Amino acid sequence: MTDSNGDGKLEVKQASKEVKESENVAEKYSAMTVKNTDMNVGELSAAFTAVPTLKSVKKQIQFANQEDKQEFSKFPTKAGRRSLSRSISQSSTDSYSSAASYTDSSDDESSPREKNQANTKGNSDFCVKNIKQAEFGRREIEIAEQDMSALMALRKRAQGEKPLAGAKIVGCTHITAQTAVLVETLVALGAQCRWTACNIYSTQNEVAAALAESGVAVFAWKGESEDDFWWCIDRCVNTEGWQANMILDDGGDLTHWVYKKYPNVFKKTQGIVEESVTGVHRLYQLSKAGKLCVPAMNVNDSVTKQKFDNLYCCRESILDGLKRTTDVMFGGKQVVVCGYGEVGKGCCMALKALGAIVCITEIDPICALQGCMDGFRVVKLNEVIRSMDMVITCTGNKNVVSREQLDRMKNGCIVCNMGHSNTEIDVASLRTPELTWERVRSQVDHVIWPDGKRVILLAEGRLLNLSCSTVPSFVLSITATTQALALIELYNAPEGRYKQDVYLLPKKMDEYVASLHLPNFDAHLTELSDEQAKYMGLNKNGPFKPNYYRY
Amino acid sequence: MSVQVVAGKMAEVELKDVPTKDLSPISPKSVEKEGIKTEPSSAVSAAASPTAEPSPNPTKMPQASAMKRPDQQQNGGEAFVNQDGTVAEAPRMKKIQFADQKQEFNKRPSKIGRRSLSRSISQSSTDSYSSDSSDDETSPRDKQQKNSKGSADFCIKNIKQADFGRREIEIAEQEMPALMALRKRAQGEKPLAGAKIVGCTHITAQTAVLMETLAALGAQCRWAACNIYSTQNEVAAALAEGGFSVFAWKGESEDDFWWCIDRCVNLEGWQPNMILDDGGDLTHWIYKKYPNMFKKIKGIVEESVTGVHRLYQLSKAGKLCVPAMNVNDSVTKQKFDNLYCCRESILDGLKRTTDVMFGGKQVVVCGYGEVGKGCSAALKAMGSIVYVTEIDPICALQACMDGFRLVKLSEVIRQVDIVITCTGNKNVVVREYLDRMKNGCIVCNMGHSNTEIDVASLRTPELTWERVRSQVDHVIWPDGKRIVLLAEGRLLNLSCSTVPTFVLSITATTQALALIELYNAPEGRYKQDVYLLPKKMDEYVASLHLPTFDAHLTELTDEQAKYLGLNKNGPFKPNYYRY
């Protein structure tokens, strides 16, 4: 973003980051959703800029840098048809990129580590790009607050009790307006927070500035080096006279750092809340090895979060992503969806609703049977590959679409990945001399066979919903609320409730997250009468289902 | 038209029914008690609710055997008298009036008209039985019968019906390809060689296929019925002829019921080492009478919610001395019993009873569990405007995201055309709501037992009840407003719709695999506790049913399996996966 014709460069960096992730990321895709959430903001706007500028404007850029960037930053605003939540997050990207232009115009090349900055209260226990952007970031946060009414409701309800009074939370997540709402909620509930970024690209500098201004010790800026990354984490943890007693982590880097460098911190730590699949996976490994010395809460697998990250989110983003990149019409198109898990279910449902003819491939017989009963033909990819107009992968596996299958596709077939990382489509096999690659738009490549056949490859086989679509604030609100409740639960749990193990969020908390989001739909929940509750053998306030209930 | 004729005749019969019906409020109470306990687990599982229907003969019905399918059978009888449409039945109906009540019940199911294929089969078999109006009043217990091989170790109504029953079984086999596939695949290995299985389930053609499969896999079987009404006599005959020791007939007395179970278990020189139970009665009997038998028993497979509940209680009390397998909560079975089954039967049940058009109708579905999800999806697909009520915020949020307005019942009760309950709770639709409904509103229950709609509150002098068809009552308010109440608030899908053989096939296959698993498990894998079916077995059940859909499952390559860290043959998902 610092360099608008660095579209390619940016992508390369991200790609390498993804490769790095895919090494330790557990098989599931959902971590990616969250982890890369904000990376995609960058990618997305890149996608937008690229359309008008890529070829002809490239040269202009050199002298019209400033205007071009203006244009760039404004572009997303003009994207008309959007859901409300979407448009908000867009506009935040918007102002964000304008912030980028602001920073850039000042030619501020010095590393934040070397700057001395203090907020208006004279506090300088933070490290952000530019504290002067605080006001601007504040506006961002206020916009996000409106979209995260559940978190605001929680703030209001629990403000009196201060359930986190005395909690010292050190956090490592994406630093975005939505996170800021979470952090400020935690503060409002009585916690002290120190925060750092879990991704070197995802920080919104002006939001970090706003947090720093409000007194939260933030160590993060956009475009950290790897060294910066660990330095920030270290600054977060390692302060005199302050020791964390709660950890909120996304990806497990912070936990890892504390574990390696300051194992003593764990003595005072009441618990770890971990959001991503990767991090959870690491925790389970620690736990298996008997090295986990504090209770940890796996919020990634909470019902509400799972459904929103996968089913509901992908149901919308598959259409959005395909439309934005290819403007394809769905009616009557033959589509094969590989994998019928939550993501596959969402994709199939959306495509079927638009009149596409959908068939699925699956390895798990139970999911396959579900596919049958939902009215989809279950096939092997080889059987149908010749006749398909679109191939969508959401298996979490690798090499699901191989070169051989790509060879047999028909002209104009669209290939994209909704699943995991960039492994599902064997893109590497397409990088051979006889095939011509033609980039028609950002994120859209035509791969041309010697006989003239074209296959349309989206996002170079990386995640379509991250590259060519967005994550709505509503989904982020679910995640943030879940995190806040997990922190409250761990912090207030009576001694001994949680041992040194990895726990799922208690169902009651999960239900509470859902109930906080119901007002968004003007939904009116029915209450059990005393008599009914007795009959059902339930508490009137939940939990309402046994643990093995599948929803 | 013929329907009308029959409906006309029905009126008489319905009058006859009244005393029986009046009994029914008694049974709900007994059912209720049990309901309380079973509820938590069965909260949303409508079809699976065991205590489902109040039997018309509550006193005669052993409580726990008030299982799912039996009821449906009975209700089927009750339900469809007017639907079958053949005039020919009317005369028979008259006979019934002087026949005893139970007979009436036995015979009624015969006349069910338009049915799904699967049902029609089991129905027609019932038919055949009742058509043999041989006035055979002697109890099977007093008869001496032998099969063609000279064996007399069985007790059924009439061994001569065996041929007929065989045909039934053959038809059922065609509809249960999964079980047949299992038979074929495992016949060589004989995984149940040496197993001595004592079973207590509904004795229908589908069960017969299961039993013969077990036998083909090497097991010896002795069988009794878990419900006094549900036995298909000719199937029992065919089984007896085939060498199975079957003790069951349609219309047993309670005493007969326990006698049959006892005969099944108590035999010199033969001791069971596996139990297949549906409702827990058999387990209970052995536990009370022959506790020593458990020493040799390798495991119990239990299918029903009630039975599972009893097992969990035993286990909690530390009294369970063998491993038990809960097949009721297996993924595949749950989805089919609830989501898929109800998705179809809600439309079917409403159409059959009321011939209502769904397009544009405003419908409120109370409860958004598996059953509610199925109902809502089906109705939405037909163009209805669907509202949902829910108490659980997670399910409520799901409803919102699926595009349904989440309301409280009181907010929409005045405007809706159809009210469907599937909460598993009681008194969801109370008199106050019924009073506020608009004229012609249809009220029915897809959930649990007969508790969801407060029907008792409608039995007041100022309201007139008018039976317009079997299972359909108009309740008329003093001002002329009519409410259409279906099945008197009992389960619509059991009373006015059918359970397809495909669903029964899922259940039977699950049971067979559970038996194999328990029997072949290495010592120590299963302790004295209640287990869920291992995921791998669950997946195997599903995979056996895929050919029905001509579905082609993809196989992992070695490389992919390694990448995912999975075995190529499953299990494919962690235990907490929600499907």
Close Cβ partners of B525 (under 8 Å, ≥ 6 residues apart):
none
| List of chain A residues whose C-beta atoms are within 8 Å of the C-beta of residue B399 | 523
**Global confidence as pTM:** 0.75
**Using CB atoms, which residue from B396, B398, B426 is nearest to A535?**
B426
Q: Which residue of B has its CA nearest to A344?
A: B579
Please name which of B289, B298, B297, B301 lies closest in space to residue B263, comparing C-alpha atoms. Answer: B289
Rounded to whole angstroms, the Cα distance separating B101 from A98 reads 84
Please name which of A257, A305, A258, A304 lies closest in space to residue A277, comparing C-alpha atoms. Answer: A305
Q: Which residue of B has its CA nearest to A374?
A: B340
| List of chain A residues whose C-beta atoms are within 8 Å of the C-beta of residue B426 | 531-532, 535
Tens digit of pLDDT for each residue in A263-310? 999 998 999 999 988 899 899 999 999 999 999 999 988 999 889 888
The verdict on B267 touching A (C-beta cutoff 8 Å) is no
| List of chain A residues whose C-beta atoms are within 8 Å of the C-beta of residue B543 | 365, 368
Q: Which residue of B has its CA nearest to A550?
A: B578
**Using CB atoms, which residue from A368, A526, A527 is nearest to B551?**
A368
Confidence band of A152 (pLDDT split at 50, 70, 90): very high
Q: Quick one: tokens of A284?
A: 């389970």
Q: Which residue of B has its CA nearest to A507?
A: B394
**Using CB atoms, which residue from A372, A397, A400 is nearest to B549?**
A372
Q: Do A527 and B391 touch (CB under 8 A)?
A: yes
Tens digit of pLDDT for each residue in A16-50? 333 333 333 333 333 333 333 333 333 333 333 33
- 3-state percent breakdown (helix, strand, coil) of chain B, nearest 5: 50, 10, 35
| List of chain A residues whose C-beta atoms are within 8 Å of the C-beta of residue B409 | 526
The verdict on B338 touching A (C-beta cutoff 8 Å) is no
In this predicted structure, the answer to whether residue A187 has a pLDDT above a threshold of 80 is yes
Please name the residues between 278 and 337 in chain A that touch chain B, using a CB distance below 8 Å.
301, 303-304, 306-308, 312
The verdict on A400 touching B (C-beta cutoff 8 Å) is yes
Domain A112-301+471-521 falls under CATH 3.40.50.1480: yes
Which stretches of A159-251 are DSSP H helices? 177-188, 205-213, 226-237
Quickly name the fold that domain B141-329+500-555 has. Rossmann fold (3.40.50)
| List of chain B residues whose C-beta atoms are within 8 Å of the C-beta of residue A527 | 391
Quickly name the fold that domain B340-490 has. Rossmann fold (3.40.50)
**Using CB atoms, which residue from B39, B550, B572 is nearest to A364?**
B572
Q: Do B563 and A529 touch (CB under 8 A)?
A: no
Please name which of B130, B74, B124 lies closest in space to residue B99, comparing C-alpha atoms. Answer: B130
Q: Quick one: tokens of B15?
A: 């009058």
Rounded to whole angstroms, the Cα distance separating B300 from B279 reads 12
| Average pLDDT score, chain A | 82
| List of chain A residues whose C-beta atoms are within 8 Å of the C-beta of residue B342 | none
Confidence band of A383 (pLDDT split at 50, 70, 90): very high
Q: B351: exposed, middle or buried (C-beta count within 10 Å: 0-12, 13-18, 19+)?
A: middle
CA distance A527 to chain B (A): 6
Domain limits, chain B: 141-329+500-555, 340-490
* Res A108: pLDDT: 59
Write the ipTM.
Answer: 0.75
Tens digit of pLDDT for each residue in B475-513? 999 999 999 999 999 988 877 877 788 888 999 999 999
In this predicted structure, the answer to whether residue A524 has a pLDDT above a threshold of 60 is yes
Q: Do A537 and B401 touch (CB under 8 A)?
A: no
Q: Do B426 and A515 touch (CB under 8 A)?
A: no
The verdict on A397 touching B (C-beta cutoff 8 Å) is yes
Confidence band of A212 (pLDDT split at 50, 70, 90): very high
Q: Do A532 and B576 touch (CB under 8 A)?
A: no
Q: Do B41 and A546 touch (CB under 8 A)?
A: yes
| List of chain B residues whose C-beta atoms are within 8 Å of the C-beta of residue A517 | 397
Give residue for tokens 């009294």.
B319
Superfamily name and number for A310-462: NAD(P)-binding Rossmann-like Domain (3.40.50.720)
Please name which of B260, B328, B324, B258 lies closest in space to residue B288, comparing C-alpha atoms. Answer: B258
| List of chain A residues whose C-beta atoms are within 8 Å of the C-beta of residue B557 | 399
Q: Do B331 and A381 touch (CB under 8 A)?
A: no
Determine contact, residues A380/A361, Cβ cutoff 8 Å: yes
Q: What is the mean pLDDT of residues A163-183?
A: 94
Please name which of B134, B76, B198, B108 lies closest in space to residue B494, comparing C-alpha atoms. Answer: B76
The verdict on B439 touching A (C-beta cutoff 8 Å) is no
Per DSSP, what are the bridge partners of residue B221? Answer: B197
* Res A163: pLDDT: 95
* Res B74: pLDDT: 37
Please name which of B423, B399, B364 lies closest in space to residue A518, comparing C-alpha atoms. Answer: B399
**Using CB atoms, which residue from B340, B391, B542 is nearest to A368?**
B542
The verdict on B438 touching A (C-beta cutoff 8 Å) is no
Determine contact, residues B556/B337, Cβ cutoff 8 Å: no
The reply to whether domains B141-329+500-555 and B340-490 share a CATH topology is yes
* Res B136: pLDDT: 60
What is the number of H-type helices and E-type strands within chain A? 24, 15
Rounded to whole angstroms, the Cα distance separating A9 from B259 reads 82
Please name which of A373, A363, A359 lies closest in space to residue A341, comparing C-alpha atoms. Answer: A363
Q: Which residue of A has its CA nearest to B576?
A: A548
Tens digit of pLDDT for each residue in A474-513? 888 999 999 999 999 999 999 889 999 999 999 999 999 9
Interface test with A, best of B335, B373, B509, B553 (most A CBs within 10 A): B553
Q: Where are the beta strands (DSSP E) in B438-540?
A: 441-445, 464-469, 472-476, 482-486, 530-532
* Res A128: pLDDT: 94
Give residue for tokens 């940016």.
A10
**Using CB atoms, which residue from B36, B543, B556 is nearest to A535?**
B36
Q: Do A306 and B578 touch (CB under 8 A)?
A: yes
Cis peptide leading into residue A543 (ω within 30°): yes
Please name which of A388, A270, A528 lies closest in space to residue B390, comparing C-alpha atoms. Answer: A528
**Using CB atoms, which residue from B35, B393, B573 is nearest to A518?**
B393
Q: Which residue of A has its CA nearest to B401?
A: A312
Under 8 Å CB pairs connecting chains A and B tally to 188
Q: Do A367 and B451 touch (CB under 8 A)?
A: no
The verdict on B344 touching A (C-beta cutoff 8 Å) is no
Give residue for tokens 């943890």.
A237
* Res B162: pLDDT: 95
Q: Which residue of B has its CA nearest to A379?
A: B552
CB neighbours of residue A84 within 10 Å: 11
Confidence band of A140 (pLDDT split at 50, 70, 90): very high
Per DSSP, what are the bridge partners of residue B474? Answer: B466, B484
* Res B7: pLDDT: 37
Which amino acid is present at B288?
K
pLDDT in tens, chain B (579 residues): 333 333 333 333 333 333 333 333 333 333 333 333 333 333 333 333 333 344 344 333 333 333 333 333 333 333 333 333 333 333 333 333 333 333 333 333 333 333 333 333 333 333 334 444 445 678 898 888 999 998 999 999 999 999 999 999 999 999 899 999 999 998 899 999 999 999 999 999 999 999 999 999 999 999 999 988 889 999 999 999 999 999 999 999 999 999 999 999 999 899 999 999 999 999 999 999 999 999 999 999 999 888 998 999 999 999 999 999 999 889 998 898 889 989 999 999 999 999 999 999 999 999 999 999 999 999 999 999 999 999 999 999 999 999 999 999 999 999 999 999 999 899 999 999 999 999 999 999 998 778 899 999 999 999 999 999 989 999 999 999 999 999 999 988 877 877 788 888 999 999 999 999 999 999 899 999 999 999 999 999 999 999 999 999 999 999 999 988 899 998 998 888 888
Q: How far is CA B350 from CA B7, B84, B116, B444, B466, in A?
A: 18, 16, 15, 9, 18
Q: Quick one: tokens of A445?
A: 């490549």
Q: Which residue of A has its CA nearest to B409?
A: A526
| List of chain B residues whose C-beta atoms are within 8 Å of the C-beta of residue A379 | 551-552
Please name which of B83, B87, B103, B84 lies closest in space to residue B16, comparing C-alpha atoms. Answer: B103
Q: Do A536 and B409 touch (CB under 8 A)?
A: no
CB neighbours of residue A54 within 10 Å: 17
CA distance A354 to chain B (A): 14
